[in-house]
Amino acid sequence: MGITIGIIIAYLLGSLSTAILVSKLLRLPDPRTTGSKNPGATNVLRSGGKTAAIITLIGDVGKGWLPVFVALQLDLFPGWAIGLIGLAAFLGHVFPVFYRFQGGKGVATALGVMLAISPLVGGLVLLTWLVVAAIWRYSSLAALVAAGMAPVYMVLLGMDHWISAAVALMSVILFIRHDSNIRRLMRGEESRIGQKDKAPA
Ligand code: G3P
**What number of other Cβ atoms are within 10 A of residue 102's Cβ?**
12
Q: What angle do CA 131, 42, 52 make, to 5 degrees?
A: 120
Show Cβ contacts of residue 150 under 8 Å, excluding neighbours closer than 6 positions.
Answer: 110, 114, 121, 125, 167, 168, 170, 171
Strands (E), 11-138: none
Assess whether pLDDT exceeds 70 at residue 201: no
Q: Return the SS3 of 105.
A: coil
pLDDT in tens, 66-118: 999 999 999 999 999 999 999 999 999 999 999 999 999 999 999 999 999 99
Neighbour tally for 129: CB within 10 Å: 22
Over range 114-126, report the average pLDDT.
98
Q: How far apart are CA 94 and CA 77, in angstroms?
A: 24
pLDDT of 195 strictly over 90: no
ipTM of the complex as predicted: 0.95
Contact 96, 17 (CB under 8 A): yes
Average pLDDT over the chain reads: 96
The CB of 9 under 6 Å from ligand 1? The reply is no
Question: Which residue has the least CA distance to atom 3 on ligand 1?
Answer: 140
Residue 198 has pLDDT above 90, yes or no: no
| Cβ of 142 below 6 Å from ligand 1 | no
Classify residue 124 as left (phi > 0), alpha (psi -120 to 50) or beta.
alpha
- Is the pLDDT at 197 greater than 60? The verdict is no
Does residue 194 register a pLDDT over 90? no
Which tens digits make up the pLDDT trace of 163-192? 999 999 999 999 999 999 999 999 999 999
pLDDT at res. 1: 65
Spell out the residues 6+ positions from residue 58 whose beta carbon is closer than 8 angstroms to its own: 18
Tell whether ligand 1 has an atom less than 6 A from the beta carbon of residue 107: yes
Amino acid at 79: G
Q: Are 70 and 33 in contact (CB under 8 A)?
A: no
CA atoms in the 13 A half-sphere facing the CB of 20:
16
Question: Ligand 1: does its nearest atom lie under 6 Å from the Cβ of 46?
Answer: no
Q: Which of 33, 37, 38, 46 to mutate to test the pocket of ligand 1 (most atoms within 8 A of CB)?
A: 38
For 95-118, where are the alpha helices, taking DSSP H only? 107-117
Taking the C-alpha atoms of residue 112 and residue 121, their distance in angstroms, rounded to an integer, is 11
